[in-house]
Homo-oligomer: A and B are copies of this chain.
């Protein structure tokens, strides 16, 4: 796990991600762990884990940052990019294990992309 030290903050945060299949927002993590870990630390550990390729992040429709486990546990490559889904009813936000074609753009260099889909999840469709 790279240069990161095994501190209580790191282990508490990793536990949250190992206990769920979905993504977790910074807001949610501060709600859950804010009494045991300072929010600054939460933000900093999350970035470290992202740098280390343990987590990846994306912005939800509300502009809030979400994190999720990386399946491959390596730095996120452009080829790894997958869409994310946010449920408007229950708030569940998750990685979609689908490949999306990043359009070829003439005269432009594509470096990164984000595809986010909003709707009703499997549990919330009527």
- Which residues does A use to contact B, with CB under 8 Å? 59, 61, 63, 65, 83, 85, 88, 96, 98, 100-103, 105, 107-122, 125
Contact = CB atoms under 8 A, between A and B. Distances in A.
A116 B117 contact: no
B103 A100 contact: yes
A114 to B, nearest CB: 5
Most chain B CB atoms below 10 A, which of A96, A102, A108, A121? A108
Nearest to A89: B109
A108 B121 contact: yes
29 contacts: A59-B59, A59-B61, A61-B114, A63-B63, A63-B65, A83-B103, A85-B108, A96-B103, A96-B105, A100-B103, A101-B101, A103-B117, A105-B117, A105-B119, A107-B122, A108-B119, A108-B122, A109-B120, A109-B125, A110-B117, A111-B118, A111-B119, A112-B117, A113-B115, A113-B118, A114-B115, A114-B116, A115-B115, A115-B116
B118 A112 contact: yes
A31 to B, nearest CB: 19
B102 A117 contact: yes
Given A85-B105, A111-B118, 6 more contacts: A83-B103, A85-B108, A96-B105, A101-B101, A109-B125, A114-B114
